[in-house]
Amino acid sequence: MRMTNCGPLGWVSSKDGGYRYQSTHPETGKHWPPLPNCLLAIWREVAAYDAPPEACLINWYGPDAKLGLHVDSDEEDRMAPVVSVSLGDDAWFRIGGRLRKDATQRIPLRSGDVVVLGGDARFIHHGVDRIVPGTSELIGEPGRFNLTMRRVTRPNDPIDRVPQRSNPA
């Protein structure tokens, strides 16, 4: 899986700094490009949250990519939902409960689908079991993009107070 970001903050990781949100690209030092208006419009339509997203993680999943069960919990503003947009090939999305051992179910995500994890669902385990190559011609090659928007800081908090965590051992 390859990744980049847009918006005031980007999700990055490194051996030295761990996982974190920061306002600049870790290699170039340049600010992330702004969130496109079409993504902001989706957020306004589905998020049911007054403050705009601050980060949009752009993941490219090749035809063999997977993403294990995880919870998005590194944001300071945990009341804001996580909004995800799927583009390209179908993916089998797995959702579970608050505990990793909770029962899970698998649902297909198709190009154009939007998933909102808000309220109680904000902290459920979720992941991608597999990509289904050849199910979309949007991108022109097998694979898919996932655009995940998050509000990181609490409204009215300065953006330089972004949460960080260490790499897991």
- What is the DSSP-derived secondary structure letter of residue 33? P
Please report, for the domain that includes residue 52, its CATH number: 2.60.120.590
Answer yes or no: is pLDDT of 166 > 70: no
What is the spatial order of strands in the sheet that 90-95 belongs to? 67-70, 126-132, 90-95, 105-109
**Would you place residue 167 in the very low, low, confident or very high pLDDT band (cuts 50, 70, 90)?**
very low
Residue pair 93/144 in contact by the 8 Å Cβ criterion: no
The answer to the question of residue 168 being in a domain is no
Separation of alpha carbons 8 and 34, rounded Å: 7
Residue pair 44/66 in contact by the 8 Å Cβ criterion: no
- Domain, as residue range, for 78: 2-163
Total number of domains constituting the chain: 1
* Chain mean position to CA 106: 18
Residue pair 6/58 in contact by the 8 Å Cβ criterion: yes
Model confidence pLDDT, tens digit, residues 8-57: 999 998 777 788 899 999 889 999 999 999 999 999 999 999 999 999 99
The answer to the question of residue 149 being in a domain is yes
